[in-house]
Every structure is written in structure tokens, then in C-alpha cells.
Amino acid sequence: DTEVTQTPKHLVMGMTNKKSLKCEQHMGHRAMYWYKQKAKKPPELMFVYSYEKLSINESVPSRFSPECPNSSLLNLHLHALQPEDSALYLCASSQDGLAGLYEQYFGPGTRLTVT
């Protein structure tokens, strides 16, 4: 099974709301990732967790707060977002955090709209 699941599939939130995106994998992978993808663009890396520790933060604004409660789960907490944060948010996982050795498996994404 090479499935990464994400919930919700769609999310509409106001600029004052607090919401969370969830991601889960049961492949025993030890690295998990959050990406942001705008229309007609490639995904942009936001965060990387390796062995449940945050290893990369690509200078993401603090209104995005990642959390990795255990090796199978990854959350992205959202607060005070801006309309320009509307995008497809993709979660991915890989067997290990070692660079270049393992492919990443992506979830279907959460389509976020900020009003």
C-alpha cells in the first residue's frame, strides 16, 4: 500500500479562522513533507519532518504551524491566513529523510480557499 491520505479534501476559511489539515500514512515512512501548489506551478516545499522532528522550514510564515504527533501523522495548523494562501496543499512521505535515496509519495491534497 503506497497511500497517503489527506483530510479535508476541500476547505474554505475566513481570514480570522483557525483550521487544521491532516495527513496520514501507514507505509512505515519516517520522513513527511508539506508542499504548497499554486495553479499551473510545481509544488513548493514548506516543511520536512524526519523521525518526527522538524528538519526543514522553508521560511514559511508563522501563520502556518506544522505538527507531527507520531510517525504516521502530520498536521498543518492554519491561523489568520491571507487570500494569497489559497492553494492546493500536498502532503508527502518517504522511507527516510536521507537526501536523494528515496522517492516521495504524495497525497491527493487539500484545496484551500481563504476568503
State the residues that interact with other proteins by CB under 8 A: 4, 6, 31, 40-43, 45, 48, 50, 55-56, 90, 92, 94, 97-101, 103-109
DSSP letter for 27, please: S
Considering the complex, what minimum distance in angstroms separates the CB of residue 46 from other proteins?
Answer: 11
| Whether the Cβ atoms of residue 34 and residue 74 lie closer than 8 Å to each other | yes
- Closer to other proteins at the Cβ: 43 or 66? 43
Considering the complex, what minimum distance in angstroms separates the CB of residue 115 from other proteins?
Answer: 21
C-alpha to C-alpha distance for 77 and 52, rounded to whole angstroms: 16
| Whether the Cβ atoms of residue 36 and residue 43 lie closer than 8 Å to each other | yes
Residue 86 has which C-alpha cell?
489559497
- Closer to other proteins at the Cβ: 85 or 94? 94
C-alpha to C-alpha distance for 51 and 98, rounded to whole angstroms: 11
- Closer to other proteins at the Cβ: 4 or 81? 4
Considering the complex, what minimum distance in angstroms separates the CB of residue 34 from other proteins?
Answer: 12
